[in-house]
Amino acid sequence: MNQQNESAEPRATSNTESASQASAPPPAANSPEQQGGDSGKRRVGRRAGRSATREEILNAARPMFAERGFAGTSIRAIAREAKVDPALVMHYFGDKEGLFRSALELPVNPREILSKVIEGDREKLPERIITTFLAVWEGPVTGEAMQAIVRRVFGEPDSFNLVRDFMGELIIESLSPALKDVPEEEARARISLVVSQMLGFVLGRYVVGLDSLQRMTHEEIVTYLEPTLRRYLLADLGDIDTSAGEHS
């Protein structure tokens, strides 16, 4: 679960580029700025013998990012901690974001992916967000790494068992009587969608602390979330072609 292996070497990720799925833009692991180094646009991959230094930089970077946050950590400070020249940090990781992605072992460049997502037909933006999201989170190459990261960031599996067993089941069981006119499996799916929205809201407002969510008044929250929960619980959820089953 807590593996620290550097499977996502930023310079040698040609197979990551095959991680695109179905209708989604490909998650690109190599951002152009990450390629910048001492040798122009050369893409020849790993340099044997230097990986120890690279690892030392990452080992210095992780606790500093964790303690001071992304904004509060400088390349210079990390270089000082790792006892290397800042130019060497840039050489290996391109910029602070590249270093951060490597420290987190992010297999994709979220900025690059998102910049592609917003291109194109505005009416299809919501769908593009979801399909890209699924391609990244469940793609054959990126999925495992992304899920490992989120498990690492959001604590211990033990706790999650409890959340699932107790809160998940308890919420589903407690709310089910309100949906007694639909089949049980549908009721569970509907309530679990409600749980997904409210769980994300809890995390975003109280734990991660996203400014915009924290600033919302109770009245705004009701106004914004009520139609979402109404649709998940009471409305037609839309036609599903059950013959597809593309979920692995």
- Segment 127-186, which members bind a second copy (CB under 8 A)? 127, 129-131, 133-134, 137-138, 147, 150-156, 158-168, 170-175, 177-178, 185
33-50 burial string, b = 16+ CB within 10 Å, else e?
ebbebeeeeeeeeeeeee
H helix and E strand count, the chain? 13, 0
**Between 87 and 235, CB nearer to a second copy:** 235
Calpha distance 159→219 (Å, rounded)? 32
Smaller CB separation from a second copy, 79 or 143: 143
Number of residues that bind a second copy (CB under 8 A): 110
| Residue 239 touches a second copy, criterion: CB under 8 A | yes
Compare residues 49 and 177 and give the one whose CB is closer to a second copy: 177
- If the CB atoms of residues 12 and 148 are measured against a second copy, the closer one turns out to be 148
Q: Is 129 exposed, middle or buried (0-12, 13-18, 19+ CB in 10 A)?
A: middle
Residues belonging to the chain:
248
Residue selected from 50, 51, 70, 87 as contacting a second copy according to rule CB under 8 A: 70
Q: Hey, which residues between 40 and 69 contact a second copy (CB under 8 A)?
A: 65-67, 69
87 binds a second copy (CB under 8 A): no
Radius of gyration of the chain (CA): 22
Binding to a second copy (CB under 8 A) within 3-42 occurs at: 22
Instruction: Spell 110-120 as b/e; 16+ CB within 10 A means b.
Output: eebbeeebeee
Q: Is 194 in the site for a second copy (CB under 8 A)?
A: yes
